[in-house]
Structure 1
Amino acid sequence: MARRLILDVDTGTDDAVAIMHAALHPDLELLGVTTVSGNVGLANTTDNTLRVLDVIGRSDMPVYAGLAHPIARRGFPGQKHYERDTARDMHGTSLPLPEARSQAQDVTAVEYLLETLRSATEQLTLVPVGPLSNIATVLAIDPSLVDAVDELVVMGGAHAHGNVTASAEFNIWADPEAAAMVFSAGFERLTLVPLDATHQALVTRANCAAMAALGTPAGAAAADLITRRIDAYSAGSGISATDAAPVHDAVCTAYLVRPDIVSTQHVHVTVDTESTLTVGRTVMDTRPNATGTPNAHVAFSAHAATLVAELTNTFS
């Protein structure tokens, strides 16, 4: 039986690859896609999502626009990765795909999530790969909905080092109060895929050439989008490899069908919402004598070859 899931995205280039993978894999049943402000504003994350689904022939997939801002902050201050639409911008305001033909649903993401989880007769999987604003809002309205989720797979956080600050990864930093709420909500299983793992699962230019050679819309789109990421990382020196880049969000959807893509450790994770220096940091207690109850299965490593094979096979 195909695994039923909902993707929650802030669609830039890596979200796009994750959407294509989840929408096309035969062992995944993508029920819907919800959008949130993050990599770009909500209007663009929603438009980008529609573009991705249109280009791979999945215009039938419903898309629901969610929160346009963090749950507790407006205009979050702080350091940015890069200047928008420059050589270091791996996303761009709009993805380099044809303009969307389809439209988002009139129902909001929060309304859709509430209705879908409340009416579910079997547990669903939630995969948020952007800021956790939508998920936290749903939990604020109805905390019991954690019971409708068999696994929450989150792309976010970092242990060794962040990317938007020295301490924090962007998705958690962008709405730290939402992340703190989600991590303390009591999900049956919460799997966290942080930068520590995704920076090990690099996709190379040669891998992109192989995807482009598949001759499929998804292969061509993935090759172009990941190549943009490689160019941006090369310009910004964000990783210690050349001609390669992480595709963070795709590791989460690949994990759904290939759990062996990551190695996890069950630890207690909290989110700093107060310090000006470390706000948004995911504090992972990896001490042998840790006292907090473990609440997340954290991926501290990931396998690049498995990710590349999974994406290439699916896009073929």
Structure 2
Amino acid sequence: MPVPVILDCDPGHDDAFAILLAAAHPSVDLLAITTVAGNQSVEKTTLNARRVCEAAGIRGVPIAAGAAGPLHGRSEGVQLLAENIHGGSGLDGPDWRPTFGAGEPAVPQDPRDALALLVDTLTGHPAPVTLVPTGPLTNIATLLLAYPRLTARIERIVLMGGSAERGNTTPAAEFNILCDPEAADIVFGCGVPVTMFGLNATHQVRATPEVVARLAALGTPLSRLCVELLTYFASTYREVYGFDAPPLHDPLTVAHLIDPSLVSLVRAAVRVELTGTWTRGATVVDLDGVTGLAPNAEIGMEVDAGGFWDLIVEAVRVLGGAPERP
């Protein structure tokens, strides 16, 4: 049976590919999409989720807007938007006008907010649901705080965030966790099984020129859009981090659900640093068991990058893309 999934995201170039993979593969039943501020404002990430669904012909998946900022407000000196990576729209690169004409996507925004959509989906589905957060964890922490009884309706939480090594926004902290460390602390401590795909894993799946060429060769409207997204993403990663090819972080969560053999996992204790002067937002991953703390998460380690990219290319081929509007 397909894995029932709610994707909680902040599109974002890599989130866009997570949506495509979740919608395309028969092993995943994409029940809903909720959005959060992160790569851009929540207004823009919600619009971007609708844009991606429209462009890929994804219909019938409700999309609801969630948290506009962290649980306890902004931290001094912390930049909460990744405009330097994802651009002013959050999905810079393509010219979206040929897809939508002069208007907005036909895919609607659900009238419920993200919390209500999460609750309704969890309570309305006959089986426990897997939550896949690929942005800051504010929506998920809000759910856990407001409806602790619903943990019984959550099969597991498979998230992109943190790192077993270094950060990418500060030397210690990864962007998603740093945006709302208190929310991340709640998620890792909630008692639901957590699987973490951090930078140490996602940096192994880089969109090389060979990958981009495979997508371009599909020759569909969606493949052209994906090439434009990855071309822009590559330019910012080269400028900001000096990478020769950008890592496509977020879809690794979905790829793991489709084929668990793609990523090796180890169990470890994870704690989120909340107060460190230089380390706030760091995920402290005890791979060697030196703290004596009980493991509370599975950590993604070694990745079969070739297998991952095969799934991405096949998802784009299957979806094809909606015809461009005149």
Q: TM class by shorter-chain length?
A: over 0.9
- Provide closer, same or farther for how the CA distance between residues 238 and 250 of structure 1 changes in structure 2, counting only shifts above 3 A: farther
Q: Deviations over 1:33-70 (max 9, x none)?
A: 00000000000000000000000111432100001110
Q: Which residue of 2 aligns with 1:153?
A: 158
Residue 89 of structure 1 and its aligned partner are, at CA, apart by 2.7
CA distance in structure 2 between the aligned counterparts of 1:28 and 1:273, rounded to whole angstroms:
34
Q: Which residue of 1 aligns with 2:137?
A: 132
Residue 13 of structure 1 and its aligned partner are, at CA, apart by 0.4
CA distance in structure 1 between the aligned counterparts of 2:110 and 2:81, rounded to whole angstroms:
31
CA distance in structure 1 between the aligned counterparts of 2:57 and 2:288, rounded to whole angstroms:
48
Residue 91 of structure 1 and its aligned partner are, at CA, apart by 4.3
Q: Which residue of 2 aligns with 1:297?
A: 298
Q: Which residue of 2 aligns with 1:287?
A: 288
SS at match of 1:134: helix
Residue 314 of structure 1 and its aligned partner are, at CA, apart by 1.8
Paired residue type of 2:26: P
SS at match of 1:245: coil
- Provide closer, same or farther for how the CA distance between residues 110 and 80 of structure 1 changes in structure 2, counting only shifts above 3 A: closer
CA distance in structure 2 between the aligned counterparts of 1:232 and 1:152, rounded to whole angstroms:
30
Do the aligned residues in 2 keep the contact of 1:208 with 1:224 (CA within 8 Å)?
no
Instruction: Give the length in aligned residue pairs.
Output: 308
Residue 215 of structure 1 and its aligned partner are, at CA, apart by 2.3
Do the aligned residues in 1 keep the contact of 2:40 with 2:81 (CA within 8 Å)?
no
TM-score of the two chains, using structure 1 as the length reference: 0.92
Q: Which residue of 2 aligns with 1:19?
A: 19
Residue 81 of structure 1 and its aligned partner are, at CA, apart by 8.6
CA distance in structure 2 between the aligned counterparts of 1:139 and 1:217, rounded to whole angstroms:
39
- Cα-Cα RMSD: 1.7
Structure 1: runs of 5 or more not aligned? none
Paired residue type of 1:275: G
- Provide closer, same or farther for how the CA distance between residues 291 and 139 of structure 1 changes in structure 2, counting only shifts above 3 A: same
**Structure 1 residues 203-212 or 283-292, which shifts more?**
283-292
Q: Which residue of 1 aligns with 2:316?
A: 315
Do the aligned residues in 2 keep the contact of 1:191 with 1:298 (CA within 8 Å)?
yes
TM-score of the two chains, using structure 2 as the length reference: 0.90
Q: Which residue of 2 aligns with 1:265?
A: 266
CA distance in structure 2 between the aligned counterparts of 1:195 and 1:37, rounded to whole angstroms:
20
Do the aligned residues in 2 keep the contact of 1:263 with 1:299 (CA within 8 Å)?
yes
Q: Which residue of 1 aligns with 2:33?
A: 33
CA distance in structure 2 between the aligned counterparts of 1:39 and 1:80, rounded to whole angstroms:
8
Is 1:236 aligned to 2:240, yes or no?
yes
Q: Which residue of 1 aligns with 2:47?
A: 47
Do the aligned residues in 2 keep the contact of 1:203 with 1:246 (CA within 8 Å)?
yes
Paired residue type of 2:54: D
CA distance in structure 2 between the aligned counterparts of 1:72 and 1:92, rounded to whole angstroms:
25
CA distance in structure 1 between the aligned counterparts of 2:261 and 2:75, rounded to whole angstroms:
39
**Structure 1 residues 21-30 or 265-274, which shifts more?**
21-30
CA distance in structure 2 between the aligned counterparts of 1:125 and 1:91, rounded to whole angstroms:
30
Q: Which residue of 2 aligns with 1:217?
A: 221
Q: Which residue of 2 aligns with 1:226?
A: 230
Sequence identity of aligned pairs in percent?
A: 37
Do the aligned residues in 1 keep the contact of 2:80 with 2:179 (CA within 8 Å)?
no
Structure 2: runs of 5 or more not aligned? 318-326
Do the aligned residues in 2 keep the contact of 1:71 with 1:177 (CA within 8 Å)?
yes
SS at match of 1:177: helix
Is 1:173 aligned to 2:178, yes or no?
yes
Structure 1 runs of 4+ off > 3 angstroms? 79-82
Do the aligned residues in 2 keep the contact of 1:255 with 1:262 (CA within 8 Å)?
yes
Residue 230 of structure 1 and its aligned partner are, at CA, apart by 1.3
SS at match of 1:203: coil
Paired residue type of 1:142: Y
Q: Deviations over 1:220-260 (max 9, x none)?
A: 22222122211111122344xx2x21000011111110112
**Which of 173, 185, 189 in structure 1 is aligned with 2:190?**
185
- Provide closer, same or farther for how the CA distance between residues 25 and 220 of structure 1 changes in structure 2, counting only shifts above 3 A: farther
Residue 148 of structure 1 and its aligned partner are, at CA, apart by 1.1
CA distance in structure 2 between the aligned counterparts of 1:166 and 1:71, rounded to whole angstroms:
23
Q: Which residue of 2 aligns with 1:104?
A: 109
Do the aligned residues in 1 keep the contact of 2:7 with 2:34 (CA within 8 Å)?
yes
**Which of 112, 118, 121 in structure 2 is aligned with 1:116?**
121
CA distance in structure 2 between the aligned counterparts of 1:59 and 1:125, rounded to whole angstroms:
20
Paired residue type of 2:316: F
CA distance in structure 2 between the aligned counterparts of 1:13 and 1:206, rounded to whole angstroms:
18
- Provide closer, same or farther for how the CA distance between residues 288 and 183 of structure 1 changes in structure 2, counting only shifts above 3 A: closer
SS at match of 1:140: helix
